[in-house]
Amino acid sequence: MASPVPDSLLLPIETLNREFDGKLLVALAAAERGFRPIIGGRAAIHDSLPALPRSIYLSKGVRSGSRPIFSLLERFGHSIAAVDEEALVRFSDELFLMKLDPDAFPRVRILFAWGEDNAELWRRSQWYAGAPILASGNPRTDMMRPELRPFHQPEVDAIRAQFGDFALFNSNFSVVNHFIPNKTRFKVADWVTPEASDQFRSGMLAHKQALFERFLEAMPALAMAIAPRQLVIRPHPSENADAWRQATAGIANATVLHEGAVVPWLIAARVLIHNGCSSAVEAAAIGTPALAYAPLASQEFDIWLPNALSRLCPDPETLAEATRRSLGGDAPPPGNEHKTLLHHHLAGLEGALCSERIAAGLIEHGTALAEAPGTDPVRWAGAWLKHRQRLRKRRRRDRAEAGAASSYIQHKFPGIEPDWIEQRIQRFRRALGRFENVRSRQIRRDIFAIERR
């Protein structure tokens, strides 16, 4: 039996630096429209589900790994909407579709796509059940827009004061250099045959490992080639940064660090270096030149969109020369084909903010949210028992892994302090001239209600 559309909105955050500001902007826009948003760490929200009001849960993905939590959410009476953080930049359409699950994907009542490309891809899934798909853009896109440059200015000024005109290398090798030793991030849905999964997995890992080794060799030489200007190496949040520190040990103008959101770094940098990294798409939206170092090429295993929006550098000499030219302000401007490609994949670069489009979409398609299963005391009690089992299972896993999983979660989401979130809200007020009557209120550790006064 269906229930009325909830007016609470749950916004879980897995990676603080990557997701928080965009999701907070969604919360602020939703609060203006009468919703009661709750934002916080994903682990904290999942642990607190029995204590939270029935809500619309905005998931960061729709893949097979979401199946257990989606089932639990519905049993507690929540309605599920979703973006997909990984749908913009992917290995191949075939592999992406292999990660969609026949049980998890149809549970999503509204899908918010990065752009038309993402929307078309979802419609091609054999498990697509007809939920509304809105090419609204992702709230992360809002953070790249010119009107929000003042939001980032304090970090941009601090970065430039420390590093001057610098080159930024964003690594993207967590599948072979994970934060948790010997962990490989690769999961497809259960319906995919082991032969198909193993074939792609082995080929992909071999290609990424070979690229990783070439980058480890190239970065020290690149730093020395651009000296005395700085090379800042920013590892992926799921990566082990020690590999990059060891590779550049003793090189004075090479720095390895992962601090804050990526957008201020992209604004501050003279040039971005990468291979298949989503930050190249962000750099294209911001206007920062991007260089894709591609000493190896694979039509099957390269992540093509970021490289297509970049200048390809097939060898260390070409990379060094292109980096020096970009540091000197001599990078060629993007062509019209780059702009067309970018707008096909990223909605919300102009006009209404993606955050506003998402908030409006939740209202416009409220009927779809009301079609989600409701709950009753018996169903809720069963969900509570399942929730307790899930917590016990996670604690056993943490003990077995000597706390590695907990350390990884802490690394990606170190926590939220009340003063910090209020400072972020104040920055949005100054940049956009809105949200004067909206404030945050802590309701649990790392969980905050966003409320109208």
Q: What is the mean pLDDT of residues 216-234?
A: 97
Read off the pLDDT band of 371 (50, 70, 90).
Answer: confident
What is the dotted CATH code of the domain comprising 8-142+348-452? Answer: 3.40.50
Domains 8-142+348-452 and 151-335 in one fold: yes
pLDDT of residue 183: 76
* pLDDT tens for each residue of 376-428: 888 899 999 999 999 998 888 777 766 676 777 787 889 999 999 999 999 99
- pLDDT reading at 374 higher than 90: no
At 47, the amino acid letter reads D
Stated pTM of the model: 0.94
pLDDT of residue 417: 95
Inter-helix orientation angle 149-163/418-432, to 10°:
110
pLDDT of residue 1: 46
State the alpha helices, DSSP H only, in 273-415. 279-286, 304-308, 316-327, 336-345, 354-364, 366-370, 377-400, 404-412
Q: Which two three-digit tokens encode residue 162?
A: 């420390």
Mean pLDDT of the chain: 93
Adjacent-strand bridge partners of 110:
81
- pLDDT reading at 2 higher than 70: no
Q: What is the mean pLDDT of residues 257-272?
A: 96
CA 178 to chain centre: 17
Q: What is the mean pLDDT of residues 231-256?
A: 95
- pLDDT reading at 70 higher than 70: yes
The string of DSSP codes covering 121-171 is: HHHTSTT-----EE----HHHHTTSGGGHHHHHHHHHHHHHHHSS-EEEE-
Read off the pLDDT band of 363 (50, 70, 90).
Answer: very high
pLDDT of residue 373: 75
Is the backbone peptide bond immediately before 228 cis, with ω within 30 degrees of 0? yes
Helix/strand/coil for 411: helix
Choice among 47-61, 186-200, 279-293 with the minimum mean pLDDT: 186-200
Q: What is the mean pLDDT of residues 241-265?
A: 95
Q: What is the mean pLDDT of residues 191-201?
A: 90
Q: What is the mean pLDDT of residues 102-114?
A: 96
Instruction: Quote the CATH superfamily of domain 151-335.
Output: Glycogen Phosphorylase B; (3.40.50.2000)
How buried is 280 (Cβ within 10 angstroms: 0-12 exposed, 13-18 middle, 19+ buried)?
A: buried
Q: What is the mean pLDDT of residues 84-104?
A: 93
Q: Are strands 133-134 and 55-59 parallel, antiparallel or unpaired?
A: unpaired
* pLDDT tens for each residue of 119-141: 999 999 999 999 999 999 999 99
Choice among 180-184, 347-351, 389-393 with the minimum mean pLDDT: 180-184
pLDDT of residue 3: 65
Q: Where are the domains of the chain?
A: 8-142+348-452, 151-335
User: Cβ distance 452 to 438 under 8 Å?
Assistant: yes
Percent of the chain at pLDDT above 70?
Answer: 98
